[in-house]
Amino acid sequence: MAELNIRERQAGDVTVLDMDGRITIGDGSLALRSAVRRLLEEGKKKILLNLAGVGYIDSSGIGELVSSYTAINKEGGQLKLLSLTQKLQDLLTITKLLTVFDAYDTEAEALSSFK
């Protein structure tokens, strides 16, 4: 089984990536990178990462989230996070990245926050 499974769906003009697994060095980080880069190539610049199914992320995975965020911003888009597990929330808090990312508990809130 893949380390990280990513399912794509469209909610209006926002692309939601439902992620399930681990975002760690190697396959998990690469899967996230490929998915985000592909969306940018397709012109999809409003991206919501649903992390409800991601129970684990390492420093490489955190770096990939940051890389995705900056790549999307550079293209004039927006990346937001949905449904952080407690462990992810703790990790993003201690690394102070919750001050960078917009994170939401519900999909409705997240979707309405996109401009």
Site for another protein, rule CB under 8 A: 24-26, 58-60, 62-64, 66-67, 69-70, 87, 91, 94-97, 99-100
**Minimum CB distance to another protein, residue 62 (Å):** 6
Which of 53/63 has CB closer to another protein?
A: 63
Tokens at 43, concatenated: 């012109």
- Bridge partners of 56, per DSSP, are 22
Strand order in the sheet with 102-104: 4-11, 14-23, 46-57, 78-82, 102-104
**Minimum CB distance to another protein, residue 45 (Å):** 18
Which of 39/92 has CB closer to another protein?
A: 92
**Minimum CB distance to another protein, residue 12 (Å):** 28
Residues 49, 83: Cα–Cα separation, whole Å: 9
Residues 2, 28: Cα–Cα separation, whole Å: 8
- Bridge partners of 102, per DSSP, are 80
Which of 64/110 has CB closer to another protein?
A: 64
How do 4-11 and 102-104 pair as beta strands? unpaired
**Minimum CB distance to another protein, residue 17 (Å):** 19
Which of 9/87 has CB closer to another protein?
A: 87
